[in-house]
């Protein structure tokens, strides 16, 4: 940080564009701002971007669903950050990001704001797909629904990858260490994915099952967890008798994940030294 960072404009849209371009000096200066003014553009970006995208998704089911999902998408992000705020801040300090709790929260908000900008910018595409939905033949509708889910999966994956790449660069610039940046990013990402999956399960429906009535939440939003649901679905798909081996498979999978994490850590350490 040799040169003086450029002055930050207070206009939200301009700041979001600075965020999208990833102008490191300006972003570092932004992270240093300890006022609500620094958070406002990010909150606005997330509410607008995810709101518009949520509305496009919900439109696939019904106009009322569009309103519901437009509210729930930003809510999901804020709840995830709220639940994980404390542990993310601790990991940030312990893993060498050099950020305070407030800066950790702001950096995560920046990442989600980039995500929101991308999905928001692609929401016309999703809305266009909804408007082009075939009616009549059930097989056509089923085919369209598969493409709709696949497109949204691709949109979310792309936005997630770009947002995390930008976050990695930001942490790297702040900490001055590539290894610390990777470790911090992986810890934050793991926590946010773990909690985000559960909260999205609590806040379902998002896409809206055509066979169920339109609703803001299911009648039993706190009945069960995402992971128990995945587990029971996996067991149900296994052939008879194979369920006996499921714990062993999970144990082996955990060991493989641990080994993969160790190898990944070594690779990161290797590259961070060069």
Partner 1 sequence: MNSNATPPAPASPAPPAPPRPPALPGAAASLELQPFDKPPGFLGVIEALLKQPGRILHECRHGGMKVPGMLLLGTTLCLAVFGFLVGTFSGGMQCWAAPLKIIGGMAAAMLICLPSLYIFSALGGMEARLAQVAGLLTTMVALTALLLLGFAPVVWVFSQSTESVVFMGFLTLVFWMISLVFGVRLLISAAARFGVTTANYVVAWVVIFFVVSLQMSTSLRPIVGTAETFLPAKKKFFMQHWLDEMDGADAKDRGSKQTGAAKH
Query: Judged by CB under 8 A, does residue 83 bind partner 1?
Result: yes
Query: Judged by CB under 8 A, does residue 82 bind partner 1?
Result: yes
Instruction: Kindly state the DSSP code that residue 203 receives in the 8-state scheme.
Output: T
Number of residues that this document lists for the chain = 274
Query: Judged by CB under 8 A, does residue 203 bind partner 1?
Result: no
Which stretches within 134-177 are classed as H helix? 138-175
Among 210, 160, 208, CA closest to 188:
160
C-beta of 80 vs 123, nearer to partner 1: 80
User: Smallest gap, in angstroms, from Cβ of residue 66 to partner 1?
Assistant: 26
Query: Judged by CB under 8 A, does residue 202 bind partner 1?
Result: yes
Segment interacting with partner 1 (CB under 8 A) among 39-47, 113-121, 196-204, 208-216: 196-204
Among 1, 74, 73, CA closest to 31:
1
**What SS3 string covers 4-52?**
CCCCCCCCHHHHHHHHHHCCHHHHHHHHCCCCHHHHHHHHHHHHHHHHH
Q: Identify whether the C-beta of residue 119 lies closer than 8 Å to the C-beta of residue 57.
A: no
How many residues line the site for partner 1 (CB under 8 A)?
Answer: 30
The structure tokens 């995945």 sit at 230
Rounded Cα distance, 126 and 216, in Å: 21
User: Smallest gap, in angstroms, from Cβ of residue 98 to partner 1?
Assistant: 9
As given in the structure block, the two tokens for residue 93 are: 């300090």
- Member of 41, 45, 89, 205 binding partner 1 (CB under 8 A): 89
Query: Judged by CB under 8 A, does residue 191 bind partner 1?
Result: yes
C-beta of 86 vs 249, nearer to partner 1: 86
Q: Identify whether the C-beta of residue 176 lies closer than 8 Å to the C-beta of residue 155.
A: no
Query: Judged by CB under 8 A, does residue 195 bind partner 1?
Result: yes
- Member of 4, 132, 135, 223 binding partner 1 (CB under 8 A): 223
Query: Judged by CB under 8 A, does residue 248 bind partner 1?
Result: no
Q: Identify whether the C-beta of residue 44 lies closer than 8 Å to the C-beta of residue 12.
A: yes
User: Smallest gap, in angstroms, from Cβ of residue 156 to partner 1?
Assistant: 22
Segment interacting with partner 1 (CB under 8 A) among 24-32, 133-141, 146-154, 194-202: 194-202
Query: Judged by CB under 8 A, does residue 228 bind partner 1?
Result: yes
Rounded Cα distance, 160 and 75, in Å: 17
C-beta of 94 vs 161, nearer to partner 1: 94
Query: Judged by CB under 8 A, does residue 87 bind partner 1?
Result: yes
Query: Judged by CB under 8 A, does residue 120 bind partner 1?
Result: no
Q: Identify whether the C-beta of residue 206 lies closer than 8 Å to the C-beta of residue 218.
A: no
User: Smallest gap, in angstroms, from Cβ of residue 163 to partner 1?
Assistant: 21
Positions that interact with partner 1 (CB under 8 A): 82-87, 89-91, 93-96, 179-180, 183, 191, 194-195, 198-199, 201-202, 222-225, 227-228, 247
């Amino acid at each position: 940080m040799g040169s003086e960072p450029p002055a930050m404009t207070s206009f939200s849209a301009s700041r979001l564009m600075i965020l999208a371009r990833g102008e490191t000096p300006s972003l570092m200066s932004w992270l240093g701002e300890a006022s609500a003014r620094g958070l406002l553009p990010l909150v606005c970006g997330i509410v607008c971007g995810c709101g518009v995208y949520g509305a496009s998704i919900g439109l696939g089911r019904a106009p009322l669903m569009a309103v519901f999902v437009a509210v729930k998408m930003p809510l999901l992000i804020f709840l995830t950050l709220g639940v994980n705020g404390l542990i993310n801040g601790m990991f940030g300090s312990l893993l060498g990001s050099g950020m305070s709790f407030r800066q950790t929260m702001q950096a995560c908000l920046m990442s989600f704001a980039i995500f929101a900008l991308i999905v928001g910018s692609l929401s016309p595409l999703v809305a266009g797909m909804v408007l082009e939905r075939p009616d009549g033949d059930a097989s056509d509708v089923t085919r369209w629904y598969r493409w709709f889910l696949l497109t949204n999966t691709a949109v979310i994956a792309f936005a997630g990858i770009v947002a995390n790449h930008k976050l990695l660069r930001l942490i790297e610039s702040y900490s001055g260490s590539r290894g610390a940046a990777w470790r911090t990013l992986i810890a934050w990402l793991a926590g946010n994915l773990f909690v985000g999956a559960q909260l999205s399960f609590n806040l379902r429906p998002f896409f809206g099952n055509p066979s169920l009535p339109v609703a803001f939440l299911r009648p039993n939003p706190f009945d069960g967890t995402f992971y128990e649901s995945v587990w029971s679905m996996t067991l149900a798909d296994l052939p008879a008798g194979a369920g006996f081996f499921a714990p062993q498979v999970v144990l082996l999978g955990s060991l493989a994940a641990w080994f993969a994490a160790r190898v990944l850590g070594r690779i990161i350490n290797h590259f961070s030294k060069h």
